[in-house]
C-alpha cells in the first residue's frame, strides 16, 4: 500500500486555494433549464483542465458543449471521470440565506447553487490530481474527463454523444459525477440509477381567459381539464394507471435485497429532514422503505401552473394550464415506452386535448455490485472514512450512466463529497468542507490503486 503522507499534506495545505477555485466556478449561473452561462461554464472548465496539463476539446453535443479532456499517466489503463458544469435553477430565491451564485462559507460549509451538484465534485477531483502531480510528478493512470452541460435537464444529447465518440471516450472504468456519505457519515457506493421520462402536459381550451362570472357553467376550463387528466395518471393508491405500465419492470434480486437489508433505516432521518409525518403506501422503514424508494416506478407532478396565481382573488376562467410530470423508471422501462403509453392512455380516457411535450429522459442503468472495480473503490474508502463504502443497489436519481454502461462497457462507480444535508436542487445547497477533503483523498487512493492494479 502506497504512503499517502505527502499527498495528504499537500491537500491539507492547499484546501483554501481549491475552495476559492470552486467558488469561482460557482459564480457562473450555468442553469441548463434556462440555457444560461453554458459557454462561460464550459470555457472555465476548459481553463481549469488545461492548467493541469490536460489536452482539452470543447465538443459540440447538439445541446450545450461537452468539455472532453485527457492526460496520460504511468499505467496504460484509463480511468474516466464524468461530471457536469450545469446546475439546477436557483428558484425560489427568497429561501436562500446567501446569494445562490456567490459561494459563501458558514460553519464549516460552503453554500452556492451547484456547489455540491456538481461543481464541487468536479473541482475536488482536480484537487486530487493536483496533489498527485505535486508529489509524484505524474498521474498513476490515464485520465479522461467528460464534463457535460445539460445533466440537470436530462442529458438529452449525452447518449448520442457517447455513442458517436465511443473510440475517443474509450476507457476501462468510470467514476460517476457524485458520491458521498449517508446520515451516519458512512461512505456509499451506488451502483445503479433509475431512468426518467420528463414531460410537460398542457391544454388550451379557449383563445383568451374568460371572466369566471360569465363562463363557469358553459365554457371548458383548462385548469379543470388538466386536473381531471392528471387524476387518471395516478390514483391515491399511488398505482400508475397507464395500461400495462408495469409489464417491463424487473424486481430487485436476492443480492439487491441483501444489500438493502445491510443498509441502515432511513425513516427517522427522512421524517426529520423533510418534515413529513408518514411515507406513501404505509411503508414504515427499513429495507422495505429502501426498496420502495428505488424499485417502485414513480409519476411525480413537479409543477402546476394555470390562471391567476398572485395575492388575493382574480375571477378568471383560465384558457391554458400545464403541469410538469416526472416519471422515474426502473429496469427495464424506457422513456420511449412511457411516452407511447401516456399518449395512448390520455386518448383512451378522452383527453386528446392534452398536449404532451417531451422535455427529456433516459433509461435506467446498473453496474454489477460484484464488479472488481466496484470492489477497488469500496475498499479504497477505508483509509479515509475508517470503513469501506457500503453498496447501494440503485438510487432514485437519474443520469446518463446507461450510455457509459452500454456504449463504452465501463463499470461505473461512485465517490464524492455529498451528504444528506446538501440540499441539492433546493435553496441553500451546500457542501461540508471536511467531506470535500475526504472526497479528494478518496480519489487519490482510487487513482493510485487503479494504476497499480
Site for a second copy in 98-157 (CB under 8 A): 152-154
Q: Are 138 and 73 in contact (CB under 8 A)?
A: yes
> Could you say whether residue 449 binds a second copy (CB under 8 A)?
no
Of 60, 350, 372, 386, the residue at the interface with a second copy (CB under 8 A) is 350
* Binding range to a second copy, per CB under 8 A, among 1-9, 74-82, 99-107, 230-238: 230-238
> Of 63 and 140, which has the nearer Cβ to a second copy?
63
- Measured distance CA(327)–CA(127) in Å, rounded: 36
> Of 31 and 403, which has the nearer Cβ to a second copy?
31
* Binding range to a second copy, per CB under 8 A, among 3-11, 141-149, 309-317, 374-382: 309-317
Q: Where do we find the cell 404532451?
A: 356
Using alpha carbons, list the distances in angstroms from residue 82 to 25, 144, 152, 173, 187: 17, 9, 14, 11, 19
Choose among 164, 155, 346: nearest CA to 241.
Answer: 346
> Could you say whether residue 341 binds a second copy (CB under 8 A)?
no
* Binding range to a second copy, per CB under 8 A, among 15-23, 87-95, 108-116, 378-386: 87-95
- Min. distance of Cβ 98 from a second copy in angstroms? 17
Of 6, 166, 302, 344, the residue at the interface with a second copy (CB under 8 A) is 302
Cell numbers linked to 439:
472526497
* Binding range to a second copy, per CB under 8 A, among 39-47, 251-259, 302-310, 332-340: 302-310
> Could you say whether residue 301 binds a second copy (CB under 8 A)?
yes
Q: Are 429 and 115 in contact (CB under 8 A)?
A: yes
Cell numbers linked to 197:
421520462
> Could you say whether residue 321 binds a second copy (CB under 8 A)?
yes
Cell numbers linked to 150:
445539460
- Measured distance CA(50)–CA(121) in Å, rounded: 18
- Measured distance CA(101)–CA(438) in Å, rounded: 24
> Of 48 and 299, which has the nearer Cβ to a second copy?
299
- Measured distance CA(94)–CA(91) in Å, rounded: 8
- Residues contacting a second copy: total by CB under 8 A: 93
Q: Are 241 and 345 in contact (CB under 8 A)?
A: yes
- Min. distance of Cβ 105 from a second copy in angstroms? 22
> Could you say whether residue 159 binds a second copy (CB under 8 A)?
no
Site for a second copy in 18-57 (CB under 8 A): 32-35
* Binding range to a second copy, per CB under 8 A, among 8-16, 98-106, 140-148, 219-227: 219-227
Q: Are 11 and 123 in contact (CB under 8 A)?
A: no
- Min. distance of Cβ 232 from a second copy in angstroms? 9
> Could you say whether residue 221 binds a second copy (CB under 8 A)?
yes
Cell numbers linked to 386:
475508517
Site string for a second copy, 360-399 (x = CB under 8 A): x----------------------------------xxxx-
Of 17, 308, 332, 348, the residue at the interface with a second copy (CB under 8 A) is 308
DSSP state of 210: E
Number of C-beta neighbours around residue 417 at 10 A? 28
Cis, peptide link before residue 118, omega less than 30° from 0: yes
Amino acid at each position: 500500500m502506497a504512503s499517502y503522507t505527502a499527498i495528504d499534506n499537500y491537500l491539507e495545505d492547499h484546501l483554501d486555494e481549491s475552495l476559492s477555485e470552486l467558488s469561482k466556478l460557482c459564480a457562473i449561473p450555468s442553469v441548463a433549464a434556462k440555457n444560461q452561462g453554458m459557454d462561460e461554464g464550459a470555457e472555465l472548465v476548459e481553463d481549469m483542465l488545461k492548467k493541469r496539463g490536460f489536452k482539452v476539446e470543447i465538443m459540440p453535443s447538439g445541446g450545450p458543449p461537452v468539455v472532453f479532456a485527457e492526460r496520460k499517466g504511468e499505467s496504460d489503463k484509463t480511468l474516466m471521470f464524468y461530471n457536469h458544469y450545469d446546475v439546477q435553477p436557483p428558484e425560489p430565491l427568497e429561501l436562500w440565506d446567501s446569494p445562490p451564485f456567490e459561494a459563501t462559507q458558514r460553519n464549516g460549509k460552503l453554500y452556492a447553487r451547484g456547489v455540491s451538484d456538481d461543481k464541487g465534485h468536479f473541482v475536488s477531483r482536480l484537487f486530487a490530481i493536483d496533489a498527485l502531480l505535486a508529489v509524484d510528478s505524474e498521474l498513476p493512470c490515464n485520465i479522461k474527463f467528460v464534463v457535460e452541460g445539460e445533466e440537470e435537464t436530462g442529458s438529452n444529447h449525452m447518449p448520442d454523444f457517447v455513442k458517436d465518440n465511443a473510440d475517443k471516450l474509450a476507457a476501462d472504468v468510470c467514476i460517476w459525477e457524485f458520491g458521498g456519505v449517508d446520515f451516519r457519515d458512512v461512505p456509499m457506493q451506488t451502483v445503479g440509477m433509475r431512468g426518467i421520462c420528463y414531460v410537460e402536459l398542457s391544454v388550451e381550451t379557449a383563445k383568451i381567459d374568460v371572466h369566471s362570472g360569465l363562463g363557469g357553467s358553459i365554457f371548458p376550463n383548462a385548469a379543470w381539464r388538466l386536473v381531471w387528466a392528471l387524476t387518471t395518471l395516478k390514483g391515491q393508491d399511488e398505482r400508475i394507471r397507464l395500461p400495462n405500465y408495469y409489464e417491463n419492470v424487473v424486481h430487485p434480486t436476492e443480492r439487491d435485497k441483501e444489500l438493502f437489508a445491510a443498509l441502515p433505516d432511513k425513516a427517522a432521518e427522512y421524517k426529520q429532514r423533510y418534515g413529513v409525518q408518514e411515507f406513501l403506501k404505509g411503508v414504515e422503514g427499513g429495507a422495505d422503505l429502501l426498496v420502495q424508494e428505488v424499485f417502485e416506478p414513480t409519476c411525480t407532478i413537479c409543477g402546476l401552473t394555470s390562471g391567476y396565481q398572485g395575492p388575493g382573488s382574480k375571477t378568471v376562467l383560465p384558457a391554458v394550464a400545464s403541469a410538469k410530470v416526472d416519471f422515474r423508471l426502473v429496469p427495464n422501462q424506457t422513456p420511449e415506452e412511457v411516452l407511447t403509453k401516456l399518449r395512448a392512455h390520455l386518448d383512451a380516457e378522452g383527453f386528446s386535448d392534452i398536449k404532451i411535450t417531451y422535455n427529456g429522459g433516459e433509461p435506467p442503468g446498473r453496474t454489477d455490485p460484484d464488479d472488481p472495480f466496484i470492489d477497488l473503490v469500496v475498499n479504497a474508502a477505508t483509509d479515509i472514512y475508517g470503513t469501506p463504502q457500503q453498496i447501494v443497489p440503485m438510487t432514485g436519481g437519474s443520469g446518463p450512466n446507461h450510455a457509459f454502461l452500454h456504449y463504452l462497457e465501463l463499470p461505473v462507480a461512485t465517490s464524492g463529497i455529498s451528504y444528506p444535508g446538501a440540499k441539492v436542487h433546493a435553496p441553500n445547497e451546500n457542501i461540508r468542507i471536511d467531506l470535500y477533503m475526504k472526497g479528494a483523498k478518496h480519489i487519490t487512493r482510487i487513482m493510485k490503486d487503479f494504476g497499480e492494479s
